[in-house]
Amino acid sequence: MSSSAASSAVDVNMKSVSPEEADTESTSSSSSPQPTAEASSSSAKTSAAKSAELYKEHMRTIQFDDSTSFSLSGSQQHASSSAYNKATTTSSKVIFRVAKEVSSLRASLPLDISSAIFVRSDDDKSTLLRAIITGPEDTPYTGGCYQFDIYFPNSYPSTAPMVNFRTTGGGVVRFNPNLYNCGKVCLSLLGTWDGAQGEQWNETSTILQVLISIQSLILCKEPYFNEPGYEQYFGTPTGESESLKYSEEVFRNNLRYAILGQLATPPEGFEDVIHAHFFLKRHLLIKVTKF
């Protein structure tokens, strides 16, 4: 499905969502008896479950799209445009391996209202890929949309893909000890961090593993402790205090750049995802006034 077709489909679906489906909070008239605490809890759980199912139903149709055309210049250009332009003819081995992996993403990308991964590829530039990972709930990244640009070099899969983090506020924000404001992603699987033995890239590793590792290991509840050496302070008063301050700053930047910034200027190829994601999660995000 093309991006424009998917976007149109979502627009139609959004219009067809009834108020009961779209609004996760039920209302009652002033004359109705007040529900008990147990009834309120049960109603809230039911509403949350419906909201989650509605989110998955709509977002599944636009989770993957292979008809995007990545720009190689301009403000929305792919981070690896230069490397792509300089590359010699890509071998059939690399093209086949990338095509196999990208094809498998259609049915294997994680999708949940708490956090999901969305991918766009370009049939004409098959060694380029782009992903959006939504920040998991109960973390300072909650609800935010984080963009990663991916490039498969001619040495792939002998070497890891190149992954560049793009949600940096134009290079001013460092969202995590493992996510630099220059775009560097520190991950043992990518070879940008030593890590433990067995965590390094090998020819059986996949881009899906990389994306899930970022989602689960980097966009975490207490990113402060991702800084090497800081794990020794975990559980201590100093560690907890510093972690809270760090997370509060991350959350403020999440609101500014990964939510409001993405709504103002959606990443190329993900316009439909950005609009639908924030529409369907609006009630949950409004409730989150502080981390």
The rounded distance, in Å, linking the Cα atoms of 279 and 126 is 31
Report whether 274 contacts 262 (CB < 8 A): yes
Ordered domains of the chain (ranges, CATH): 61-287 (3.10.110.10)
pLDDT the model gives residue 141: 98
User: Across residues 185-199, what is the average pLDDT?
Assistant: 88
- Which of these ranges, 35-39, 77-81, 100-104, 176-180, has the smallest mean pLDDT? 35-39
Q: What is the pTM of this model?
A: 0.86
Q: Give percent of the chain above pLDDT 90.
A: 77
Q: What is the pLDDT of residues 260-279, one digit of tens each?
A: 999 999 999 999 999 999 99
Q: Give percent of the chain above pLDDT 70.
A: 85
User: Is residue 29 over pLDDT 60?
Assistant: no
Helix (H, G, I), strand (E, B) or coil at 90: coil
Question: What average pLDDT does the chain have?
Answer: 88
pLDDT the model gives residue 195: 74
Report whether 176 contacts 246 (CB < 8 A): no
User: Is residue 131 over pLDDT 60?
Assistant: yes
The active-site residue out of 145, 182, 186, 220 is 186
In this prediction, residue 40 has a pLDDT band, given cuts at 50, 70 and 90, of low
- Using alpha carbons, list the distances in angstroms from residue 208 to 98, 164, 198, 211, 255: 11, 15, 17, 5, 27
The rounded distance, in Å, linking the Cα atoms of 152 and 159 is 9
Q: Is 182 annotated in the active site?
A: no
The rounded distance, in Å, linking the Cα atoms of 261 and 243 is 25
pLDDT the model gives residue 143: 97
User: Across residues 231-240, what is the average pLDDT?
Assistant: 96
In this prediction, residue 3 has a pLDDT band, given cuts at 50, 70 and 90, of very low
pLDDT the model gives residue 157: 97
User: Is residue 236 over pLDDT 60?
Assistant: yes
pLDDT the model gives residue 242: 98
User: Across residues 210-229, what is the average pLDDT?
Assistant: 97
Of 144, 23, 126, 143, which is closest to residue 84 (Cα–Cα)?
126
Q: What is the pLDDT of residues 70-86, one digit of tens each?
A: 999 999 999 999 999 99
User: Is residue 197 over pLDDT 80?
Assistant: no
Beta-carbon contacts of residue 106 (< 8 Å; ≥ 6 apart): 64
Which of the two residues, 237 and 41, has the higher pLDDT score? 237
